[in-house]
Structure formats: structure tokens, C-alpha cells
A and B are shown apart, each in its own frame.
Chain A
């Protein structure tokens, strides 16, 4: 029954015109970034590496390849994708309540726990589909346009160089991590959706939470740094970057297949998983007791 319910939820998601706004937005943004880098790539890299020019001699012409462009795309848009996820997940329960279909579904022989879990699973699959779409356009598209090469990534005052043979798995891992992070956003949006009877409220609330925590993270205030940021959802969402920071030996030579701080990546993944479980548990608990009056 759960699989059948999940199929129905996926069917409903992909029959709604709103779903394709996210796919369209990602396509347009990725294409715009690729076009901009194709036309003014070197200037952009100069601007991007402005703070490092005093420390390193940067080989601008060799940096611009498909892998570098894909990392740039991820940097620029992954922080905005929660909005696109909230657009669908925030509407999963509240949208049905507003449309008057929630009462029809809840009067069917399906447990409310299963209903929430099916909606969460469907939202997660939507997240995966969105990231696959992004992977195709950002990674495959960039490789097609800019070709391949070694990947150079800057981290504050450090420079991380990865051989092109050591890059592809990092993208796979980064996309998988992003899927986990965005699933946490989907779980949060579903939680807000359970409490609401209109679509807009949960979507706006989810986006607001992401914005507020992102600002707190960027403010670097000691109070936030000590008590909030170590547990901040948005801070751990950026854990995917860890796959592009490599370990170096004593001579400063990059170690192939290494990750600079695997424990930090794992810790972020665990915290995100914890958030997913927590959000789902609250959603299920509340939804099971909720009087459906919509």
C-alpha cells in the first residue's frame, strides 16, 4: 500500500505545472552562468580570486574547465535551491488542505503516518530528480562546453588542486550530499505544511528560516558561532564543499582520493539526518492528532 501511495504522490507532483518551474529555473540559471563564463570567464576568475592574487600565482587560462564551472554553479545556486524545494514540499499537506482534497484523502483507509511518509518520500524523490537535472546541465553541460581538466578550488587563503581523474567521484558525492541537505529542507517544509491550511505560509516560512540562519552564519558573531552555527541547518547544508577540499602531504602535494576533513563532512551529514528524523517525527505526531477542518 505504501508503494502505491508513493506512486500516487509522485504522479501528483509531476502532473502539477508548478513542479516544472524549478526545473525551468535551474535550466535558465545554469545556462546563464555557463554563458557568462564562456564570454567573460577569465575576468570572472580574476574577480573571484581577488583575495588570493597576493599569495598565489594563478594560471587563469588553465582553470576554466567544465569541472570548475560546475563547482561555480553549485556555489551560486545550491543556496537558492531550498526555495525551489519549499515550493513543492511546503505545499504537500497545506496545498491539499486549501484545495479541499486533504479531507477526501484522510477519509480513505490510509493511516496518517503513511500519508506523511509517502509525501515526504515523494518530495525526496523530487529533490533527487531536481539534482539529477542540475547534474546533467551543470556537470555534463559544462564539460561539453568547457571540456575537462584538473580542478582548482579556493578556500579562503588555501588553494586545492585535484587531478581530473580524481574529480568525478567528488561531484557524485557532492550531489548526494546536496540531496541529503535538500531533503532536510523538504522535511522542514512538510513540517510547516502540516500546521497550515494555505500553500503560501509554509513556503514563505521555510525560505525565511533558511535566510535567517544563513545571515546568522555570515555575521560571524561569537554568540552565534558558539551556540547556533554548530547546529545550524544551513551551515551543515554546505557540507558538500568538503568533497572539494583535499588533504596534502608534508610537501604540500595533493593526495588523490582524499578529503581534507572527512569527519566534518560526516558530522554534517549526521546532523542533517537528525534534522530530517526530528522534522518527520514532529510532523507525524501532530498530523496524527490533527482535526482536519479544511
Chain B
């Protein structure tokens, strides 16, 4: 069973389509990177996963339960850090943690909360008011607040924002530890591919609210294979044929505009021959050197 299962999720604000027919799934225990430029729809998607924003269409299932019907049950087992948390500035770290633990329906002992603050590197400032904290410290406290009720799923929206290089390293290690040692599922968004490459097991890339690609990071970053974008004069027929052909296993994504395949360079002439023999008018068969290049090209387009 997938921890998160999203199907055809869409949301618009007035005339702006923030998320467009987005589907993806997150497996238990993995670090799932959610990549996209600023304004690509990442935060809106995350807010829909947390029921802060109501989707126009689509279904969200978390832990196998419908978010619409079992909101509280799901959120009891979910922790979230959403953008830059300011928290309660007039309270100290300890008091903030206590509030969020109680809001999650859990009572935590002082010792447990101190351990958590130690985990995020704030034990020494537990009694300081949050208004005296740097952005990085607030970010760490935000993470502690997300973890205080020991959730199974952790959703982090741009958690590295505002952190200094050491803070980024610490945050990265902590996220890896949560997934590897504590078997938590981490859904993490970022606009930096390099950052995701270092921690994610799987990756979903979106642009202008639409999915560009999704898959296992090793497969997506495989140096022996290149991503190939195929455009023909008749995309529906091409998609129909290719998904039933010997090339089906190489298809990463098929949309109305283009088909994306993961191939070895040597396979390209054969694919071209097959397409020609099927009488498809090949407009473009374009290989990309890396995922980053692919990502950037899609964004430019």
C-alpha cells in the first residue's frame, strides 16, 4: 500500500491554474522529492495534502484513507513544516513544542521534548523566546514541532530555506535519519534539483502545476540512459502504439504534447526506424544529457 496516492488533482485560483491533473504515489519509508520552480504549484499541492486548501477535482488518499473523509485520522499521523514557520514568537521553544504536541492530541514529557530539541540542535536555546531566534533556528524548531507527535508521514515544504550551509547539512542528515533509521516516509519539496539528488529516493518534477516526470531517482539519474523527448504529428496514435510496443517499458511519461522515454543512446536509431515504419511523422526525437538539463529545458519551454 502506498502512503500517499494522488489522482488527477487540480486546483485553480481565479484564472490561475496552480495544479493541473497531478497524479503521483509515495511508497512507505521513502524520501520523496517534490521538485519544481518557485510558483510551480508545490506549496499548493502540499497544502492540499494537509487539507489547508480544498482541491477543485481529484482524490487524495493517505495511509489508504480518503483525506476528505478521514482528515483527522490522517493528520494525527502526519507532521508538517510548511514554508517558513514563525511560530509563537512570544513563547520559548519548549512552550511552542508543548502547544503543537497537545494540538496533535499527544502529551509529551519534558524529557521527550528536550530530546527532540536536542535532535534538531536547539536544546541550548530551549528557554529562549522564539522572537530571538534566527530564521534557521525557527526552521529547526518548525521541524521539531512537525515531529513532536512522532508521525509516520512527514511533509516538509522547502525545509532548507533560510538555513546556512551547516544548517542545510544538519537538516539533510536528520531527514535521512528519519527515513533510514526510523522508517518514516518523508515528502519533501524543493526548487533545487541538486538538493533533492542528495537525499531523495524518488522524485516528482512539476512545472506550471503539471507533472514533468516521476520515478526512482537512480533510474532518473542513470548515466547510461538518456531521457528522450518524442514528438510526432499524431501524438494520441503514437502514445497508443508505443505503450503497446516493445518500447513500453522505457516510457517515463506520455502526455498529449510529448512522450518521454528513458533509453540508451544506441537505441535511438532503432526507435526512429520503428516510428517511421509505423508511418508516424517524427517531428522531434530529442535526447537530454541529464535530468537537470531535461528539467531546465521543460521549464524554459
Contacts and interface: CB of A to CB of B under 8 A. Distances in A.
Contact of B53 (A11, A17, A99, A291): A291
Contact of B52 (A1, A11, A17, A107): A107
A292 B100 contact: no
B105 A109 contact: yes
Contact of B75 (A8, A99, A109, A292): A109
Interface string B40-77: 00000001001111100000000000000001110110
B47 A99 contact: no
Given A15-B91, A16-B90, A110 B52 contact: no
Interface in A247-294: 289, 291-293
B263 interface: no
B85 A100 contact: yes
Given A109-B73, A110-B103, A293-B47, A104 B85 contact: yes
A291 B54 contact: yes
A15 B87 CA distance: 14
Interface in B94-152: 95, 99-100, 102-105, 142, 145
Interface residues of B, number: 33
Given A109-B105, A110-B103, A292-B47, A104 B82 contact: yes
Contact of B82 (A15, A107, A110): A107
Contact of B88 (A12, A110, A111, A291): A12
A291 B72 contact: no
A4 B104 CA distance: 11
Contact of B83 (A100, A106, A108): A100
A100 B84 contact: yes
A96 to B, nearest CB: 9
B164 interface: no
- Interface range, A side: 20 to 34
Contacts of B104: 108-109
Nearest to B157: A103
20 contacts: A8-B102, A12-B99, A15-B95, A101-B86, A101-B88, A103-B82, A103-B83, A104-B82, A104-B85, A104-B100, A105-B103, A108-B100, A109-B73, A109-B75, A109-B76, A109-B105, A289-B54, A291-B52, A291-B53, A292-B52
Interface of B: 13, 47, 50-54, 71-73, 75-76, 78, 80, 82-91, 95, 99-100, 102-105, 142, 145
Given A15-B95, A106-B50, A109-B73, 8 more contacts: A8-B102, A99-B87, A101-B86, A103-B52, A106-B51, A107-B80, A107-B82, A110-B72
The 7 closest A-B pairs by CB, nearest first: A109-B72, A107-B50, A292-B52, A109-B75, A108-B103, A100-B86, A291-B53
Interface of A: 1, 4-5, 8, 11-12, 15-17, 99-101, 103-111, 289, 291-293
